Structure 1
Amino acid sequence: MKQIKFQKSTNKEFTTTLQDRVNEYFKGNGTKRYGGRTMVIKTIVMLSLFFIPIGFIGSGLIQSVWLLFALYILSGLGMAGIGMGVMHDAIHGSYSQNPKVNKYLGYTMNLIGANSRVWKVQHNVLHHTYTNIDQGDDDINAPLFLRFSPNAKRYWIHRFQHFYVWFFYGLSTISWITTKDFVRALRYRKMGLLKGDFKKVLLKISGWKVLYYSYALVLPLIMVPLPAWIILLAFLSMHFVTGLLISLIFQTAHILEETSFPKADEKGIIADAWATHQLATTSNYAPKSRIFSWLIGGLNFQVEHHLFPNISHVHYSKISKIVAKTAEEFKIPYLVNPSFLSALTDHAKMLRQLGRA
């Protein structure tokens, strides 16, 4: 990947003003940037939502096929909640002021079958730094049959992606728990983004996955008095629900008709400053839906998250007013969809557009 840089001289006053105002908000309210009690409650709720149904399944008391599927899908909702509302803050270092708390709660991603170290490179480094930049943002570096950027090569099959993409969104966490972490770990090592003894890295990734499969699938296969193919199908349904939910929440903030997909010049420089680049490539949705926001870890405020990833999502609804006002003053677009449905519709239109031009 070519080294990509942002203009430092562009919109410096906007960036400084915005940072000062957000800092003043926390100082004036005597509030810390971290999650506090709210995050502790959410963590207990989401971990319980995942582990309690899995525990019932592993107990061997479940004999009904429909109850088996219901419990696995319920765990899938908890899994999505852990990913969006617990692990996400922890890996960004915004869950707690204590780095060890962030580190250990970041391991909740490992407990649901993926790998926090690989995710940290993919998400914190590549996605947050190079948002919507082809070959830079790993969230839009899609497999051959999907096209998420107008700057990516288009193939004939992309004409139909707005029909079949939803199925592959559902497979995304199945990919995580099987091959994706290993493939990306190898690529990140070649890019110089994954340091340390690579054999130990692979062993740790493998060890966590063995632990996950042991209680989420192997134990149910041993204990549940139902055919193995039914248990496996129920397990896959859990991941399909999780993958679909997480993909829709993240993709509807970036792959839209209104968002930009900037290209670097021949020197690898993006015309915008980093902060204004985030505003151009990211959109909020459903800003007035408090319950929805709580459930998805504040990721309906993706603009604020991208500008201030070191601030816990519990504060995004408050600081969004500061960001919107400052952007308006400096005549910088602040993208927002009124509802999740409108964002989802916009995303589907963009997928169709990307398949045709």
Structure 2
Amino acid sequence: MSLPKFPKSQNSFSHELKERVHRYFEDNNIASTGNGHLYFKAIVLPLLYIFLYVHVVFFTPPTFWALAECALIGLTVAAIGFNIMHDGGHGSFSSKPWLNNIAFFSLNILGGSNFMWNMKHNVIHHAYTNIDGLDDDIDAKPFLRMATTQPKLKMHKYQHLYFWFLYSLLYLFWVFFTDFRKYFSHRVGSVPLKKMKTKDHLIFWASKIFFYGYIMVLPIIKFGLLTWLAGFLTMALTGGFVLSIVFQLAHTVQDATFPMPDETTHKMDDEWTVHQLKTTANFATNNKWICWYVGGLNFQVEHHLFPKISHIHYPAISKIVKQTCREFGISYIEYPKMVTAIASHVSYLRSVGQAH
């Protein structure tokens, strides 16, 4: 599939929006990167992860509490991904590149690959959001049909019922399968993988070996295969579901669109900024706990428009984005509560699963 081209702006919306957001930081004399609130989470969440791991593995609480702590480890994995890794990967964690690299490398400690994620998320997903054939985030074939342009199978009629279980498998697939598929196929979906340097290969394999060592080998030696499996699956399924649902609520909902380029010219109808607004949604932006836990990813609109700005600032700049959209008559998709967004996601999966 040829890469689509976005037309240049025919009005001043993009320019005006960028100017207003830039002015906000300039007038308030604040950096667009992370601040003390983010760095507090960057200390607390990894320490919580280490504490829970050490307590479960080396102090062995009773079975019920051990499984509860494993579930909490899964929630902590997701929180580290949302808050620390994600900002680090976008270079918005800190103004210092080495701190961004450390934050981004947390993904490797948790079983993923920052090289593969950068290609999949930064290079492809953010550039070609919701474009079938390019955006790997909406490619769950054959199990799920995420867009009407994808093949339809009989089982998709029920995908709004069984997706809950599939979403739980995300983390397992991520650390045991999808990274390796990208590595050996040299592709992310239909897009060729950027050439890996010797250093990239070494980091990829060393990270995987380290992760499997502390998350599999050590616990299996200590507790046995079945006991480890019970705890690991509790952790992985919990974390996988949370990671999946948060990202899916941002793009696969009823009000989001899935535009495709012209078959002949490969041009998109909308400029890139408007495309992001049409394909992205916010949810539960007034819920302070959700905002804290998901690292501002419930402000997905602001994140897609300004990925280089730390999520700490999304609540403030969302007011600017909303006002500018109103003035230019451009839609701004937002669901007031998380449950509302989930309902919209379920309805969307139902409609796509039944559509021809």
TM-score (norm 2): 0.95
Find the aligned partners of 2:162 and 2:333 in 1 and give their Cα distance: 27
Letter of the aligned partner of 1:285 in structure 2? F
In the alignment, is residue 30 of structure 1 matched against residue 29 of structure 2? Answer: yes
In the alignment, is residue 216 of structure 1 matched against residue 215 of structure 2? Answer: yes
Is the Cα contact below 8 Å between 1:51 and 1:75 reproduced in 2?
no
Is the Cα contact below 8 Å between 2:55 and 2:61 reproduced in 1?
no
Is the Cα contact below 8 Å between 1:65 and 1:230 reproduced in 2?
no
2:52 corresponding residue in structure 1 = 53
1:84 corresponding residue in structure 2 = 82
Shift of 1:200: 5.8
Find the aligned partners of 1:200 and 1:20 in 2 and give their Cα distance: 39
Find the aligned partners of 2:26 and 2:225 in 1 and give their Cα distance: 57
Letter of the aligned partner of 1:111 in structure 2? I
Find the aligned partners of 1:243 and 1:98 in 2 and give their Cα distance: 30
Q: Spell out the pairing of 1:179-328 with structure 2 (5 A cutoff).
A: 179-185=177-183, 186-188=185-187, 191-197=191-197, 201-224=200-223, 227-265=224-262, 266-328=264-326
Q: Which runs of no fewer than 5 residues in structure 2 stay unpaired?
A: none
What is the SS of the residue equivalent to 1:328? helix
Q: Spell out the pairing of 1:78-227 with structure 2 (5 A cutoff).
A: 78-185=76-183, 186-188=185-187, 191-197=191-197, 201-224=200-223, 227=224
Is the Cα contact below 8 Å between 1:284 and 1:337 reproduced in 2?
yes
Find the aligned partners of 2:275 and 2:8 in 1 and give their Cα distance: 11
Is the Cα contact below 8 Å between 2:2 and 2:266 reproduced in 1?
yes
Deviations 1:166-219 (A, max 9, x none): 11110001011101101123343884432234x764443232111112122222
Find the aligned partners of 2:121 and 2:210 in 1 and give their Cα distance: 24
Find the aligned partners of 1:167 and 1:206 in 2 and give their Cα distance: 29
Is the Cα contact below 8 Å between 1:140 and 1:149 reproduced in 2?
yes
Higher mean C-alpha displacement, 65-74 vs 294-303: 65-74
What is the SS of the residue equivalent to 1:18? helix
Higher mean C-alpha displacement, 239-248 vs 181-190: 181-190
Find the aligned partners of 2:3 and 2:21 in 1 and give their Cα distance: 30
Find the aligned partners of 2:337 and 2:321 in 1 and give their Cα distance: 19
Letter of the aligned partner of 2:300 in structure 1? Q
Letter of the aligned partner of 2:274 in structure 1? T
1:4 corresponding residue in structure 2 = 4
Find the aligned partners of 1:51 and 1:354 in 2 and give their Cα distance: 41
Find the aligned partners of 1:196 and 1:74 in 2 and give their Cα distance: 35
Letter of the aligned partner of 1:2 in structure 2? S
Is the Cα contact below 8 Å between 1:304 and 1:323 reproduced in 2?
yes
Find the aligned partners of 1:35 and 1:200 in 2 and give their Cα distance: 28
What is the SS of the residue equivalent to 2:126? helix
Letter of the aligned partner of 2:284 in structure 1? A
Deviations 1:46-105 (A, max 9, x none): 11222211111231x215221221221111111001111110000000001111111121
Find the aligned partners of 2:119 and 2:241 in 1 and give their Cα distance: 22
Find the aligned partners of 1:36 and 1:3 in 2 and give their Cα distance: 37
Find the aligned partners of 2:200 and 2:310 in 1 and give their Cα distance: 28
Is the Cα contact below 8 Å between 1:134 and 1:151 reproduced in 2?
yes
Find the aligned partners of 1:187 and 1:281 in 2 and give their Cα distance: 28
Aligned length: 352
Higher mean C-alpha displacement, 273-282 vs 179-188: 179-188
What is the SS of the residue equivalent to 1:269? coil
Is the Cα contact below 8 Å between 2:283 and 2:337 reproduced in 1?
yes
Q: Which runs of no fewer than 5 residues in structure 1 stay unpaired?
A: none
Find the aligned partners of 2:56 and 2:32 in 1 and give their Cα distance: 38
Letter of the aligned partner of 1:196 in structure 2? M
Is the Cα contact below 8 Å between 2:182 and 2:193 reproduced in 1?
no
What is the SS of the residue equivalent to 2:160? helix
1:15 corresponding residue in structure 2 = 14
Letter of the aligned partner of 1:81 in structure 2? A
After superposition, the CA RMSD in angstroms is 1.5
2:70 corresponding residue in structure 1 = 72
Is the Cα contact below 8 Å between 1:293 and 1:299 reproduced in 2?
yes
